[in-house]
Amino acid sequence: MGKLRWRHFDFWLMAALILLLAMGLAMVYSATRNTEGLEDSTRRQAIFIAIGLALMLGLATVDYGLLEPITGAIYGLVIAALVAVLVIGRITHGAQRWIDLGFMLFQPSEFAKLGLVIFLARYFSENSDDIKSGRVFLVSLGATLLPMILIYLQPDLSTALLLGAIWLGMAAIAGVNMAYVGALGGLGLVAAPAVWYSLHDYQRLRVLAFLNPSADPQGTGYNVGQAMIAIGSGGWLGKGFASGTQSQLHFLRVRHTDFIFSVLAEEMGFVGALVLFALLGLLLWRLLRVAGVARDRFGELIAVGMAVYIFVQAAVNIAMNMALVPATGIPLPFISFGNNALLSLLLGLGLVQSVALRHRKLDFA
């Protein structure tokens, strides 16, 4: 690739990403040190950060437009992988979400997020002249519901709902008729009782614990309570790196994944949390900046889709840690331990950098 194109590589986006990954690696180390069975987590995370960054930079050199003819195939592979995990997937803690590849556990649902972003970007862009039609609404919704259902059957309700949020955000920005979305919301309210009784017992318990945390403080509500203690005790500047009480004394469970924000807030305090918010904000701003100068609608919607993906996932995770929403299995982007989530995000950002390198001929600052 020539020098001219690399001039337009988004270095602000890259800087925010590197700082987030460094912060995440430090928090994974703090959350897993002296924890039996998790001693290798930091090294594994570092390896996959290196692999992911290499893949991201490699993908940035490829014209994202080459994906347009094969978006259907990408979507088909995602569906095939989601079906396969229900047949041959490993069952862990009652959930069947992973396929053992030997060198890693492959989690198709994480890559379904990126696959859906790519598919919807192509579908909405090629139907931009008819974007307000009921057909576009129904086809895009149906294409989203299929992986949502397959992921729900694992069971993984939170990731299934995240796919719905990605569709909603991309549909709104693409210009889909929101009257249809409103009607869908009305149907959802009518169906809410049936949905409630279709939930697994542990899912209903999470909702009940959210509504009344004191009802089961030693059971379902335990970890949320510990997270609140961790966040509250961090104060302005925190207790110091690897010096948190709730994390280092192992009161806080799944602290290296779902509840890593609580570890960060306890050890780095309110100021550390603000730094995290600022870095995420910078990353999201640059994603929207790339969308604004994309050479075509497909590239614009890829960048928008990644912004929606990252924003919703981060917002839900942080809100869960602060007991603002029921506990879910949604990781904090770039911070939580998780090889599949990390690779999916970095591949998506590689596509965004490809869009940035091939932007319209405008000033790009």
Query: Is residue 222 exposed (0-12), middle (13-18) or buried (19+ Cβ within 10 Å)?
Result: middle
Q: 340 near 111, Cβ under 8 Å?
A: yes
Q: What is the pLDDT of residues 255-299, one digit of tens each?
A: 999 999 999 999 999 999 999 999 999 999 999 999 999 999 999
- Strands in the chain per DSSP E: 90-92, 95-100, 105-106
Q: How far apart are CA 172 and CA 181, in angstroms?
A: 9
pLDDT band of residue 215 (cuts 50, 70, 90) is low
Report whether pLDDT(364) > 50: no
* Residue that is written with structure tokens 């306890």 in the block: 266
Closest by CA position to 12, among listed 287, 294, 291: 287
Q: How far apart are CA 23 and CA 218, in angstroms?
A: 31
- Residue 224: predicted pLDDT: 85
Helix, strand, coil % in the chain, rounded to nearest 5: 70, 5, 25
Pairing of strands 90-92, 95-100: antiparallel
Q: What is the pLDDT of residues 30-47, one digit of tens each?
A: 999 988 888 899 999 999
Mean pLDDT of 147-160: 95
Distance of CA 75 to the CA centre of its chain: 18
Mean pLDDT computed over every residue of the chain:
92
Q: What is the pLDDT of residues 47-75, one digit of tens each?
A: 999 999 999 999 999 999 999 999 999 99
Of the two residues 36 and 164, the one the predictor is more confident about is: 164
User: What is the strand order of the sheet 90-92 is part of?
Assistant: 90-92, 95-100, 105-106
Closest by CA position to 114, among listed 349, 292, 299: 349
**3-state SS assignment for residue 97:** strand
Delimit the domains of the chain by residue range. 3-357
Mean pLDDT of 306-328: 94
The most distant pair of C-alpha atoms in the chain lies apart, rounded to whole Å, by 62
Report whether pLDDT(326) > 70: yes
Phi, psi values for residue 218, rounded to 5°: -100, -5
Which residues are paired to 100 by β-bridges? 105
Phi, psi values for residue 4, rounded to 5°: -60, -45
**3-state SS assignment for residue 337:** coil
- Residue 362: predicted pLDDT: 52
